[in-house]
Amino acid sequence: MASTAEEPNRRDFLVIAGNAFAAVGGAIVLWPFIAQMNPDSGAQALASVELDLAPVKEGQAITAMWRGKPIFIRNRTKAEIEQAKTVDLAVLVDNSARNMALPESDPATDANRTKAGHENFLILIGICTHLGCIPKGQAIGDSRGDYGGWFCPCHGSHYDTAGRIRKGPAPRNLEVPPYTFVGDTKIKIG
């Protein structure tokens, strides 16, 4: 049987071509029904937020909103900055700066997670990289975890004073959003 393989004839060609066109057509029709669920242009419109940080005194923290996400802004104390700078990078769980303005390969030093000249301000997307809860540590009296930064109560992730993951199930450091200082104390996020 195998030795008498027939030459493909016109009908075989038509069947394969017809099915191929039907498959492509089906995929083309399916795509709008999948893509409609993606963020629409209204959600995509990259809203930028301007904030004045002057009222945020040393040791204080505020939470802003950007793209529907909470932004943690903390004016760190000298001790907190010192603590963040002296951490040996080898002990970090995630050694990537996680700074949207920097390449992913940059190391997670404190300098790479803040802006030169404004090291006291740590600005982060306040969403735990585990499963998206809002970590504690912004309000006075909140638990700040074992490393003095933030603590996510959902599944027990501890972040240090540079927002880097140190302990718990979260895989990545808290993300640093793209922002610039537009004045001495004014920032623009996005």
Could you list the residues that contact other proteins (CB under 8 A)? 34, 37-40, 43, 63, 65, 67-70, 130-136, 152-156, 168-171
CB of 44 to other proteins, least distance (A): 9
Query: Is the CB of 69 or the CB of 118 nearer to other proteins?
Result: 69
CB of 180 to other proteins, least distance (A): 20
Query: Is the CB of 19 or the CB of 44 nearer to other proteins?
Result: 44
Query: Is the CB of 102 or the CB of 154 nearer to other proteins?
Result: 154
List 118, 130, 155, 158, catalytic entry: 155
Specify the amino acid at residue 105: S
Could you give the angle at the alpha carbon of 106 between the alpha carbons of 99 and 80, nearest 5°? 65
Query: Is the CB of 83 or the CB of 177 nearer to other proteins?
Result: 177
Confirm whether 130 is a catalytic residue: no
Query: Is the CB of 14 or the CB of 65 nearer to other proteins?
Result: 65
CB of 120 to other proteins, least distance (A): 24
Beta carbons of 189 and 64 less than 8 angstroms apart? yes
CB of 185 to other proteins, least distance (A): 23
CB of 133 to other proteins, least distance (A): 4
Beta carbons of 149 and 168 less than 8 angstroms apart? no
Instruction: Give the catalytic positions in this structure.
Output: 155
